[in-house]
Amino acid sequence: MKKTLFLGALLTLLFVQCGKDNDPFLIKQGAIGNLTKDVQMKQIDSIFAQDSIVRLNPIADALGTQGEVEIYEKGGKKLLLLSPDNESDPTSVITNVQVFDERYETDKGLNMNSTFKTVKENYTIADIESTINSVVVFLENSDIFITIDKKQLPENLRYDSNAKIEVTQIPDEATFKYFMIGWDAED
């Protein structure tokens, strides 16, 4: 009887551990849940079989999914926007993912509803690029990059697209305009 209980407890523990590896919302290097950087657009239908896939630029008589797609839960909540390397090729891999659902997060708790403070406390910032209306923050050794609206920066930095933005100039409470993952198609 003791052996049966021990074996049952051991199997339960193994199944629980295996389930953690397949977290459908975990963002890690080269993957977002079951979606990896090697997945081709034509495979999206099977990966997101329980969700709704909306083709943004449908191509008549196309074989398989191609072009940009939005992924929605069956209940209607928008999850992701997937952009391929080549819009007209169903074998093209995904190069950019925009995250809309806060359940998608890293093991350090970074998600689309985080603040810049979470970024500073958990990641090394590789680069900050200034655009007309935003700053794009790239994280070292990560596929993640975030965009912060310049309206959240000090006023002297908002209107100068050539200004060099430093980490210390971005307020801790700054929120993300876009939470993105970028994969290089050649990797």
CA–CA gap between residue 74 and residue 29 (Å, rounded): 27
For range 129-143, the mean pLDDT = 94
pLDDT digits over 67-118, tens only? 799 999 998 999 999 999 988 888 899 999 999 999 999 999 999 999 999 9
Q: Which of 157, 169, 171, 181 is nearest to 116 (CA)?
A: 171
Average pLDDT estimate for 122-150: 95
Average pLDDT, rounded, for the chain: 86
Q: What percent of the chain has pLDDT over 90?
A: 64
What is the distance between the alpha carbons of residues 173 and 118, in angstroms, rounded to a whole number? 9
Task: Kindly list the domain boundaries of the chain, sorted by start residue.
Answer: 25-99, 108-182
3-state SS class at 71: strand
pLDDT band at 156 (very low <50, low <70, confident <90, very high): confident
pLDDT value at 57 more than 50 = yes
Judge whether residue 126 has pLDDT over 70: yes
Indicate if the pLDDT at residue 4 is higher than 60: no
Q: Tens digits of per-residue pLDDT, 24-42?
A: 999 999 999 999 999 999 8
The whole-angstrom separation of Cα 34 and Cα 25 is 8
What average pLDDT does the segment 116-128 reach? Answer: 96
DSSP label at 152? Answer: G
pLDDT score, position 59:
60
Predicted local distance difference test score (pLDDT) of residue 60: 57
pTM: 0.81
pLDDT score, position 66: 57
pLDDT score, position 160? 79
Tokens of 122: 């958990």
